[in-house]
Structure 1
Amino acid sequence: MIINEQILLTYFYLLVYICLSSGVILFNKWVLSPKYFNFPFPITLTMIHMGFSAVVAVIVVRVLKIVTPVKMTFQIYATCVIPISAFFASSLWFGNTAYLHISVAFIQMLKALMPVATFLVAVVCGTDKLRCDVFLNMLLVSIGVVISSYGEIHFNVIGTVYQVTGIFAEALRLVLTQVLLQKKGLTLNPITSLYYIAPCSFLFLFVPWYLLEQPAMEVSQIRFNIWTFFINALCALALNFSIFLVIGRTGAVTIRVAGVLKDWILIALSTIIFPESTITGLNIIGYAIALSGVVMYNYLKVRDVRASSQLTTESVPERITKVFNTTLLLVAHVVCLTDILLVISTFSCLILIV
């Protein structure tokens, strides 16, 4: 009964994450698109998110003192937090800029390259080994994305370059977080992560904002609604919390699997909310090929975790072993649920095309 309650609670957290992630992406597209809210300044929007998150984190840590900051020296901050913040700011900047040029549906298809980028960066940095089975999965994902891109009606080179660059920047951030922070023995919760990373990311964004967007904002008619941007920033902050909540309860593998489901939902919703987001049959075929590689990659990760847990079963307390096995069971449930919903979503998207 306890396991069932844990599974239901995990599904609830995953549902919250999927709803918030989908909502933030669609919200950002609506705000940035010239056809809708017409605020075509992605760096400014990203700075609003980072500034709002930084203020909330400072209030919680320094004013209310609900969360205690970790012990961090200037050397750790300079060698760990600053590089991570730079790549975090870059991934958000490039990702939001892509909304000005390509559709939400095509962006989600390109995001299937995230495992490929993370694997390549991890191999270069020495945190992962070049394995034949993983390499073949990455090759399958890449072929699927190429086919999906070839079938894109409104293909835009600039938007595609922005999105792919943002994907590799996010991959560098993930690998650097593992290499730098974990080796230093630092554990950051959602509040402390925003407390250290958000202000630094805001400063990194200031230079490109001053050079690229600030001159245009002086001469253009800017549509600014304080409540719109407040709700948008609040949703982005809630999304960051939900990501840490899901990862803390299940793991990074589970959130990657949930991300696959979220991408399908976004592709279907974007075609309804934004009529200009046209999906072709070749888009769906290519994306299905890419996702098959992503699902296999997630399966390999789950298998590796299970194998490592079996090797260390004799050396860990029985209580920890039961908790870990429960986590693996949750991951298995999520994988099965995602596979079923992927099939349903595929047929739904094909029906929308027809």
Structure 2
Amino acid sequence: MGKEGALSDGVLKKIILSYTYVFIWIFLSFTVIVYNKYILDRKMYNWPFPISLTMIHMGFCSSLAYLLIRVFNLVEPVSMSRELFFTSVVPIGALYSFSLWFSNSAYIYLSVSFIQMLKALMPVAVYSIGVLLKKDNFKSDTMANMVSISIGVAIAAYGEARFDVWGVVLQLGAVAFEATRLVMIQILLTSKGISLNPITSLYYVAPCCLVFLFVPWIFVEFPLLRETSSFHLDYLIFGTNSVCAFALNLAVFLLVGKTSALTMNVAGVVKDWLLIAFSWSVIKDTVTPVNLVGYGVAFLGVAYYNHSKLQALKAKEALKRVAQPDEDKEAGRLLEEREGEGGRRKNESQT
């Protein structure tokens, strides 16, 4: 009875912790999105410099990561050769810089709710790029699912009251760059047995982002900043915004490390609905019935995609459990044979 009670307490504790991690990630992701929208939108804080904002985030995150790794020694650095850095980390940093630049730029032109609807295309982009790069196998049922998600997003776009072509192009570009980055992480790092947590990831990737963003910043935003004298930053606003961005990276690691990437995908759907409701009720963005119908179709497609991944993961774990006893028996048989061989050799040496 006591053991069953202890087991129940352990399971309950694990469930509570999992929901806590989900809540922390949703809260921080929600905060960063709304905060970035507040800073960049011309009708709110009116500081429409997305490259500069991204560079502030990357500068803050890389500095803090350096302190945690090199000064305070709180995180172990990952052993990485110069060749691996330039062939793997640098391309990932380039993709990440463009993804952040484009996604932050979209906040100037589009509503928070519509941006979240467009982000539903992420599974479509990841799967399509994975197939093109031969990381995933083409499956007709999965592609049909991807088409259903795309149709839902297209309906939502058709019903958007504040549709802006340039904003949509920027957000779709951000989705494409982010999806490519995720696939390239699997190809360039994970396949080589290298795993970066958020601190080490920022330590290596954030400086690359700064370098790649510096070139367009010089030509696009630096002249405007100099003309408008917008170099005088509100340290409270941009400081707290940067802290939130850094904390979000830690929350991603906490959520994925303690639960799974699939849990984050499911939590992301909940976060999107919350953002749509917040955008409509607080920011007063217009959310039309056609928007909701379209996103509802896309939502069902994403939900089915997550369900399929969960079933595939369960099937894989079941196969491992079935194969494990056979592997243990085989290992035991080999051990017995070695012991028997060793015994025979010992007897031969004694005679």
Give TM-score, length-normalised by structure 2. 0.88
**What code does the residue aligned with 2:168 have?**
T
Once residues 289 and 44 of structure 1 are traced to their aligned partners in structure 2, the CA distance between those partners, rounded to angstroms, is 36
Once residues 160 and 316 of structure 1 are traced to their aligned partners in structure 2, the CA distance between those partners, rounded to angstroms, is 49
1:293 to 301, 313, 317: 301
**What code does the residue aligned with 2:18 have?**
T
Alignment of 1:176-255 (within 5 A): 176-222=184-230, 224-255=233-264
Partner of 2:94: 86
**What code does the residue aligned with 1:241 have?**
L
Once residues 192 and 42 of structure 2 are traced to their aligned partners in structure 1, the CA distance between those partners, rounded to angstroms, is 45
Partner of 2:69: 61
**What code does the residue aligned with 2:75 have?**
V
1:77 to 74, 80, 85: 85
Give the paired residue count: 317
**Residue 314 of structure 1: how far off its partner (Å):** 3.7
Partner of 2:189, secondary structure, is helix
**What code does the residue aligned with 2:92 have?**
I
**What code does the residue aligned with 2:305 have?**
Y
1:270 paired to 2:279: yes
Once residues 258 and 228 of structure 2 are traced to their aligned partners in structure 1, the CA distance between those partners, rounded to angstroms, is 46
Once residues 108 and 315 of structure 1 are traced to their aligned partners in structure 2, the CA distance between those partners, rounded to angstroms, is 42
- Once the two structures are superposed, residues 273-297 of structure 1 have per-residue CA deviations (whole angstroms, 9 ceiling, x without a partner) of 322x100000000000001000000
Once residues 250 and 226 of structure 1 are traced to their aligned partners in structure 2, the CA distance between those partners, rounded to angstroms, is 35
Q: Which has the larger radius of gyration?
A: 2
1:311 paired to 2:292: no
Once residues 159 and 247 of structure 2 are traced to their aligned partners in structure 1, the CA distance between those partners, rounded to angstroms, is 35
**What code does the residue aligned with 2:208 have?**
C
**Residue 316 of structure 1: how far off its partner (Å):** 4.5
**Aligned structure 1 segments of 4 or more residues deviating by more than 4 angstroms:** none
Q: CA RMSD in A?
A: 1.3
**Residue 189 of structure 1: how far off its partner (Å):** 1.5
Partner of 1:127, secondary structure, is coil
1:112 paired to 2:120: yes
Alignment of 1:27-42 (within 5 A): 27-42=35-50
Partner of 1:24: 32
Once residues 168 and 162 of structure 2 are traced to their aligned partners in structure 1, the CA distance between those partners, rounded to angstroms, is 11
**Residue 217 of structure 1: how far off its partner (Å):** 0.7
Partner of 1:155: 163
**Residue 227 of structure 1: how far off its partner (Å):** 1.1
Partner of 1:3: 11
Partner of 1:145: 153
- CA gap 1:316/1:214 in 2 versus in 1, 3 angstroms: farther
**Residue 143 of structure 1: how far off its partner (Å):** 0.4
Partner of 2:221, secondary structure, is helix
Once residues 229 and 218 of structure 2 are traced to their aligned partners in structure 1, the CA distance between those partners, rounded to angstroms, is 18
Once residues 152 and 323 of structure 2 are traced to their aligned partners in structure 1, the CA distance between those partners, rounded to angstroms, is 42
Once residues 40 and 229 of structure 2 are traced to their aligned partners in structure 1, the CA distance between those partners, rounded to angstroms, is 14
**What code does the residue aligned with 1:181 have?**
L
- CA gap 1:194/1:216 in 2 versus in 1, 3 angstroms: same
**What code does the residue aligned with 2:270 have?**
L
**Residue 271 of structure 1: how far off its partner (Å):** 1.7
Once residues 324 and 271 of structure 2 are traced to their aligned partners in structure 1, the CA distance between those partners, rounded to angstroms, is 35
